[in-house]
Chain A
Amino acid sequence: MTFSINPAESPDDSDMNVSNPLHPGEPGELAEVIALPTGLPVGKPRSMFQLGVEVFVQNRLAIVGVVVLVLAIAFCFLGPLVYPTDQVNVNLAIVDLPPGPGHPLGTDAAGYDQLGRMMVGGQTSLVVGFAAAAIATVIGTLWGAIAGFFGGVIDGFMMRIVDAILSIPILFLLLFLVTIVQPSVPVMIFVLGLTAWLIPARLVRGESLTIRVREYVQAVTVMGGSSWRSVLRHIMPNVIGTVIVNATFQVADAILLVAYLGYLGLGIAPPATDWGGMLSDGTQNLFTNYWWLIYPPGLAIIIVVVAVNLVGDGLRDSVEVRLQRR
């Protein structure tokens, strides 16, 4: 039989009328045997990104998460344009009004319109949440990547630092820091970012340790490539999926931490506020039936955090797209 390696044309039975050398006496029109692997992937080639988007779009809950997040962002940042309120001057004439005309969600103890305050507070929560997560992810990824790539003593030293910081309760550390410095949005971002990077650092370090010994990284060595090439072209792209997914969870965590601090009265100084701080103020009225001061910020925190987590779950599935049969 002939071993054809001319795959440019697909095998066409009509022009292959070669007898079978193993059974030359046998009748019948025998197709030439071509070692061309059929069963190749069909359809248009799609990029990793396209495949990822496809998987993500199929996850209904993730889509719900995205929609909720977009709505929340629009509410906080575009809302004040549609519904302008005075969030600076205290107006004691309209303290603790229940929802009604002019104040759809009532007013709080300082006479601020509650709906407008939800928007302003949400801005703080979201900005701090996203920015802190970004800082934590960048620091953590670099730290973990360096530890994982170089290994040995460097790895041991860097990871022991992480272990040491992790052994301090985060909330305790935050309380300590915000009592020294006056809390403001940049300070909050900085403080939260500096404490939250530990988790991505460990994650990325573990990932890069396993990827470093994968065969496709070894193959680079065989081809004569440098270790920087392995790091930049192979390890980084394969870690980035994990990093993105973790970043979404970091956002949720940061929003919650801002809420904790606000709730403990150590959040942003008035007249600025955040959802956690609003909730804290509201609980002073827990037994006075001023429900409009408690439920809106509480629900907002829950809904946004759940939405971010849903998006994270969806992203995790879509970055693992190569594991799926399609």
Chain B
Amino acid sequence: MPLLEIRGLSTDIRLSRSTVHALDEVSLTVEAGETLGLVGESGSGKTMTALSIERLLPSGGDIVGGEIWFDGVDLAAASEQSMRSIRGGDIGMIFQDPMTSLNPVQTIGEQVGEPLVLHRGMSGSAVHTAVRDMFELVGLPSTERSLNTYPHQMSGGQRQRVMIAMALICEPKLLIADEPTTALDVTVQKQILELIDRLRVERNMAMILVTHDLGVIAGRADRVSVMYAGKIAEMASTTTLFAWPRHRYTEALFEALPERAAGTGMELYSIPGLPPDLVSPPPACRFAPRCRFAIDRCRTIVPDMEAVPDDSLTEPGSVQEFACFVPCTGPLLSADELVARHELDARPVDVADRAWVAPTTEVPEDGVTLLRTEDLVKDFPVTAGAITRRRVGAISAVAGVSISIGRGQTLGLVGESGCGKTTLGRLVVGLEKPSSGSVLFRGRRVQMLRGAEAREGRRNIQFMFQDSYASLDPRMRVRSVLREPLEIQHVGNSRDRNKRVDELLDAVGLPRSAAERYPHEFSGGQRQRIGLARALALQPALIVADEPVSALDVSIQAQVLNLMKELQRDRELAYLFISHDLSVVRYLSDMIAVMYLGKLVEIGPAADVYARPQHHYTRGLIDTIPIADPAAERAKARLGVRGELPSAMNPPSGCRFRTRCPAAQEICARIEPPLQVGGGGIRPHPLPTSSGPASHLVACHFPLNTEAVVHKTGRKGS
């Protein structure tokens, strides 16, 4: 008998005037000791499933049908009292944001021990000892002092460890991890996932891993359920699902992943449209309105779960189940096959149609570098005292960074949060003033411009914000939002501006009627399009895009990435693309620059940096990023960057990465390695070849030799 069996679970959420059918006839099973991955886009019902099991539904939420059998008890019908003993006792839960899930006024020792007091009736020293043992298990210092710290004194990764300790202290049979690492940095994410995995095996726990990230699922889950619009679309063992998905939605999800098309220059498949509104979901197959294979039957009949034998043979008799009338007939194509296909139907770039590009900002092809930064430094002073504002130190956000971006090029900037990549972007657009160094646009120092010239100069570099909601004035219609840059720069008269608004909306794929709407009426992806349209309004030569897709779902992300690429091709735009997600950066960039704690550690052509990283940090990052390929994920299970980012207030001497570097030696602490071709220490006579625009530079005393990294983005059919 499975540990958890959900049969036909339906959950509704009553709103003031409508009812959201969040879950519709969801059935799944979890065996003891097994990890079930639950994937889907936001709003697909994956979190709602987790909350239904715990019966922790939001207000207005109700289980309206079905059974949840856990260990011989039907949780859907259990009394509130018995649920209380199950929550935190037999079923542990880890939430997404450890900051809001921990009580800020209680020490972490007390909070971790609380379930023991509640569920096991333990007290005093017994709790104390158990908590200390648990701390040791999850990799937190088990000293008296660390038990008495408060959540705000810890880093995000440590807080998530506390959450795990809390969830596991009563030795639950089932652990529900709801996006456990989404709020964390990739390097920390890997460590946390490993920890959860190790503890799960040690304690023979079953786990439901809820996530939107196919890469996370690939390395961790035994079986996967794909959810869409409150229904299970497909269920199979991980290997089978990643090799040969049957449901068209699963297939589309894979095709939208940027890592699949990385380096091919081809467009991503983007699922058109948005997930349906669950107040009145589509009558038949819920994916039909967005599906490119939908036939009449899909729009009229609800597809039943079909089963085919699962040939990965994890267990005899296991099946792959899917609810689709037009399932995929063959395994997913590998990356190489995709490239071959792409060459067949490559679309010629249309250079003739340039009328749109106004002469004011057209960049002549004269070989002058579009944008250069020279030894850019930004320190943020740290002050103490409310009135005196004594300067007690400085956070070194950007420390001597020199980059250059050519016309029509994309430079991808990657690094963990806190590495200074956003600050660099803000320096480039002039939102921050550099402490020293300069930003040169076509050879002219941007800071030196004054008055009207400065205003004019602003036109050339525009910024695309991460949070599309916060970056659009909520009280302005889209028309005013898009007209504003034109008004500021006194471009044209009122009629010209309105015409330009129409053109901009066309360009980003929004209907012209969108101009009369307010930003809140749009979805995240649509708002990001408006943000892009605003950045384009002044026909800049360079757009600095700060994590423009990190808040979006995979399918929507693909839409925006495609659009950015398309616009670049048509207008010779250059991008400074800032992201923590290497696969997105890899997809879009010509050059990749890797930053660590304010320093540029490696820069080079995208394919080269990705395939043959020379800095240990770059290599670690590449190994750390989860890839939607089970085989590759297992192959690099033991690799990656360890530890957490040190404070930028007192950065390590010499090479800033040395504290986390596997190859660090004594010289790394003494001498800072220069950024040069082939790395190494300071040379008396630098190599003459290092000035080429496309050369691969690295700042490391002991660079990695140029062997290829273990990663394959392509999946071969099974």
Residues of A within 8 A of B (CB): 1-3, 5-8, 11, 20-23, 26, 28, 30-31, 33-41, 45, 48, 214-216, 218-225, 229, 233-234, 237-238, 322-323
Are the C-beta atoms of B538 and A223 separated by less than 8 Å? yes
Are the C-beta atoms of B474 and A221 separated by less than 8 Å? no
Are the C-beta atoms of B463 and A37 separated by less than 8 Å? no
B708 at the interface (CB under 8 A from A): no
* Chain B residues whose C-beta falls within 8 Å of the C-beta of A224 in the assembled complex: 454-459, 488-489
Q: A-B pairs with the 8 shortest C-beta distances?
A: A224-B458, A39-B274, A45-B516, A215-B471, A38-B273, A41-B521, A224-B455, A223-B485
Are the C-beta atoms of B429 and A37 separated by less than 8 Å? no
Residues of B within 8 A of A (CB): 255, 267, 269-270, 272-274, 277, 289, 292-295, 326, 328-330, 333, 338, 341, 344-345, 347, 429-431, 454-459, 461-463, 465, 467, 470-475, 477, 484-485, 488-489, 505-514, 516-518, 520-523, 525-526, 529, 534, 538, 559, 562-563, 566
Q: Pick the contact of B471 from A35, A219, A225 — CB < 8 Å?
A: A219
CA A237 – CA B507 in complex, angstroms? 29
Are the C-beta atoms of A220 and B562 separated by less than 8 Å? no
* Chain A residues whose C-beta falls within 8 Å of the C-beta of B489 in the assembled complex: 223-224
- Min CB distance, B487 to chain A, in Å? 9
Are the C-beta atoms of B267 and A7 separated by less than 8 Å? no
Interface of B is mostly: loop
- Min CB distance, B290 to chain A, in Å? 8
Given A21-B341, A219-B465, A222-B463, A36 contacting B292 (CB threshold 8 A): no
Closest to B531 in A: A219
Are the C-beta atoms of A48 and B506 separated by less than 8 Å? no
Given A45-B517, A219-B463, A224-B459, A22 contacting B522 (CB threshold 8 A): no
Are the C-beta atoms of B430 and A222 separated by less than 8 Å? yes
CA A312 – CA B330 in complex, angstroms? 63
Are the C-beta atoms of B272 and A30 separated by less than 8 Å? no
Given A35-B562, A37-B509, A224-B488, A26 contacting B329 (CB threshold 8 A): yes
* Chain B residues whose C-beta falls within 8 Å of the C-beta of A233 in the assembled complex: 473, 484
- Min CB distance, A35 to chain B, in Å? 5
CA A233 – CA B240 in complex, angstroms? 56
- Min CB distance, A292 to chain B, in Å? 44
Closest to A321 in B: B520
User: What are 15 contact pairs spanning A and B, CB under 8 A?
Assistant: A1-B267, A20-B292, A20-B293, A21-B344, A31-B294, A34-B272, A35-B509, A36-B273, A37-B526, A39-B274, A220-B488, A221-B430, A225-B484, A225-B488, A323-B520
* Chain A residues whose C-beta falls within 8 Å of the C-beta of B505 in the assembled complex: 7
Q: Pick the contact of A5 from B457, B477, B507 — CB < 8 Å?
A: B507
Given A225-B488, A238-B473, A322-B520, A33 contacting B458 (CB threshold 8 A): no
Given A26-B329, A224-B459, A233-B484, A3 contacting B562 (CB threshold 8 A): yes
Are the C-beta atoms of A5 and B273 separated by less than 8 Å? no
* Chain A residues whose C-beta falls within 8 Å of the C-beta of B472 in the assembled complex: 216
Closest to A216 in B: B473
Closest to B505 in A: A7
Are the C-beta atoms of A220 and B431 separated by less than 8 Å? no
- Min CB distance, B342 to chain A, in Å? 8
* Chain A residues whose C-beta falls within 8 Å of the C-beta of B563 in the assembled complex: 3, 5, 35
Closest to B472 in A: A216
Are the C-beta atoms of A39 and B516 separated by less than 8 Å? no
- Min CB distance, B404 to chain A, in Å? 21
CA A38 – CA B291 in complex, angstroms? 13
Closest to A39 in B: B274
Are the C-beta atoms of A37 and B529 separated by less than 8 Å? yes
Q: Which of B455, B465, B514, B520 has the most CB of A within 10 A?
A: B520
Closest to B519 in A: A322
* Chain B residues whose C-beta falls within 8 Å of the C-beta of A31 in the assembled complex: 292, 294
Are the C-beta atoms of A40 and B526 separated by less than 8 Å? yes
CA A8 – CA B289 in complex, angstroms? 20
CA A238 – CA B508 in complex, angstroms? 27
Are the C-beta atoms of B473 and A234 separated by less than 8 Å? yes
- Min CB distance, B294 to chain A, in Å? 8
Are the C-beta atoms of B559 and A37 separated by less than 8 Å? yes
* Chain B residues whose C-beta falls within 8 Å of the C-beta of A35 in the assembled complex: 270, 272, 509, 559, 562-563
Q: Pick the contact of B523 from A2, A37, A48, A323 — CB < 8 Å?
A: A37
* Chain A residues whose C-beta falls within 8 Å of the C-beta of B506 in the assembled complex: 5-8
* Chain A residues whose C-beta falls within 8 Å of the C-beta of B330 in the assembled complex: 23
Are the C-beta atoms of B507 and A28 separated by less than 8 Å? no
* Chain B residues whose C-beta falls within 8 Å of the C-beta of A223 in the assembled complex: 458, 462, 484-485, 488-489, 538
CA A8 – CA B511 in complex, angstroms? 6
* Chain A residues whose C-beta falls within 8 Å of the C-beta of B474 in the assembled complex: 238, 322
Given A6-B506, A22-B255, A216 contacting B538 (CB threshold 8 A): no
* Chain B residues whose C-beta falls within 8 Å of the C-beta of A23 in the assembled complex: 328-330
* Chain B residues whose C-beta falls within 8 Å of the C-beta of A41 in the assembled complex: 517, 521-522
* Chain A residues whose C-beta falls within 8 Å of the C-beta of B559 in the assembled complex: 35, 37
Are the C-beta atoms of B463 and A36 separated by less than 8 Å? no
* Chain A residues whose C-beta falls within 8 Å of the C-beta of B522 in the assembled complex: 40-41
Are the C-beta atoms of B431 and A36 separated by less than 8 Å? no
* Chain A residues whose C-beta falls within 8 Å of the C-beta of B461 in the assembled complex: 222
* Chain B residues whose C-beta falls within 8 Å of the C-beta of A21 in the assembled complex: 341, 344-345
Are the C-beta atoms of B514 and A5 separated by less than 8 Å? no
Are the C-beta atoms of B273 and A37 separated by less than 8 Å? yes
Q: Which of A5, A223, A229, A237 has the most CB of B within 10 A?
A: A223
Knowing that A37-B526, A40-B511, A40-B526 are A-B contacts, what are 13 other residue pairs whose CB atoms are under 8 Å apart, sorted by A's residue number? A5-B508, A6-B506, A8-B506, A23-B330, A30-B292, A34-B272, A35-B272, A37-B510, A38-B272, A39-B277, A48-B518, A222-B461, A238-B475
CA A22 – CA B254 in complex, angstroms? 12
Are the C-beta atoms of B431 and A3 separated by less than 8 Å? no
